[in-house]
Amino acid sequence: MSANNFYDRILGLRALRSFRTDRLTDDDLERLLEAARWTGSSKNLQNWSFVVVDGDQKERLAGCGNFTDPLRSAPIAIALVEETGGYEFDTGRVAQNVMLAANAIGIASCPITLHREDAVATVLSLPEGARCRYAIALGYPAEGAAPARFGGRKPMNEVAYRNRHGETG
């Protein structure tokens, strides 16, 4: 893939919330987990783990968040576990890598926030000190699947500054 195509893929990445019901192939799931595993991390500590969730367990995990319909409708999800000493920033990097990899191989993805950490810890049997606030719903896109439309992006001069917040020149 050329640099321009990759750049366009980054700018075009959108969360999709409509999935076909068929499971991901083992090969596709393995590729997504490799993309997660190879994500950079602070000091290369790799203080994370990944729990692949499907079936009834996925429904239990969906009960740990407030806006989890995409999780319920996806055939599979990957829960992103921040191990003891991990950083939430690194978890965000993993999520973006998984979503970009999914897009590159024709898989739809949607990030999910899990609001009730204690419930998540119970559902996933997390060890003491580990936490999971995010999962990624994954599946092959449904026919005609389109991202939710929330408008465009704010103008650059409202989000990017030089040297001090609010300075654009």
Q: What is the domain range of residue 42?
A: 9-143
Residue at 163 is within a domain: no
Return the pLDDT at 146: 73
CATH, residue 76: 3.40.109.10
Residue 19 included in any domain: yes
Q: What is the model's pLDDT at position 142?
A: 92
Say how many domains are in the chain. Answer: 1
Q: How far apart are CA 60 and CA 5, in angstroms?
A: 38
Q: Is residue 41 part of a domain?
A: yes
Does the residue 21 lie in any domain?
yes
Residue 99 falls inside a structural domain:
yes
Contacts of 25 (CB under 8 A, 6+ apart): none
Please give the single-letter amino acid code of residue 83. E
pLDDT of residue 9: 85
Whether 107 is in a domain gets the answer yes
Count the Cβ atoms, other than its own, within 10 Å of residue 161. 13
Predicted local distance difference test score (pLDDT) of residue 10: 86
Q: Is residue 161, in this structure, part of any structural domain at all?
A: no
Annotate 119-147 with b (16+ C-beta within 10 A) or e (fewer). Answer: ebbebbebeeebbbbbbbbbbbbeeeeee
Residue 138 has a pLDDT of: 98
**What's the angle, vertex CA 69, arms to CA 68 and CA 71, rounded to 5?**
65
Q: Are 49 and 81 in contact (CB under 8 A)?
A: yes
What is the reported pLDDT for 13? Answer: 84
Do 107 and 48 touch, CB atoms closer than 8 A?
Answer: no
Q: How confident is the prediction along the chain (169 residues), in pLDDT tens digits per residue?
A: 677 788 988 888 888 888 999 999 999 999 999 999 999 999 999 999 999 999 999 999 999 999 999 999 999 999 999 999 999 999 999 999 999 999 999 999 999 999 999 999 999 999 999 999 999 999 999 988 776 666 778 898 999 998 999 887 6
**Does residue 168 belong to any structural domain of this protein?**
no
Amino acid occupying residue 44: N
